[in-house]
Amino acid sequence: MFGILTNKGQVSSVSLDEFISIDKMNYFENEYFPKQFDKFCEDLPEIVEKIDFTKKRYKEYLKDKELTKVDLFNTFMNTYSADEIERAAAWKLIKTYVPEFIEYLYDNVVDYIYEIFIQYERKGNTVPFHRDWAPDGLEVDDHSIYPDKDEYRSSGASWAWFRFSDTKKLYVSDIDGKDDVSKRIPMKFYGAVFNGNDFHGCYDDSYGYSSRLYATLKQDIIDNNEIDISRWSIIYPPNDYMKKEKAFSF
Contact 153, 231 (CB under 8 A): yes
For residues 119 and 89, give the distance between their C-alpha atoms in angstroms, rounded to a whole number.
17
Closest CA to 160 of 112, 98, 128, 202: 112
Average pLDDT of the chain to the nearest whole number: 89
End-to-end CA distance of the chain, in Å? 38
For residues 131 and 91, give the distance between their C-alpha atoms in angstroms, rounded to a whole number.
25
pTM score = 0.91
For residues 121 and 214, give the distance between their C-alpha atoms in angstroms, rounded to a whole number.
20
Written as one letter, the residue type at 222 is I
**136 pLDDT higher than 60:** no
Burial of 207 (0-12, 13-18, 19+ CB in 10 A): middle
> pLDDT exceeding 90 applies to what percent of the chain?
68
The pair phi, psi for residue 169, each rounded to 5°, is: -130, 100
Contact 131, 2 (CB under 8 A): no
Written as one letter, the residue type at 66 is E
pLDDT confidence tier of residue 141, bands split at 50, 70 and 90: very low
- Region 89-107: mean pLDDT is 95
**pLDDT tens string 4-41:** 999 989 999 999 999 999 999 999 999 999 999 999 99
**pLDDT tens string 42-74:** 999 999 999 999 999 999 999 998 899 999 999
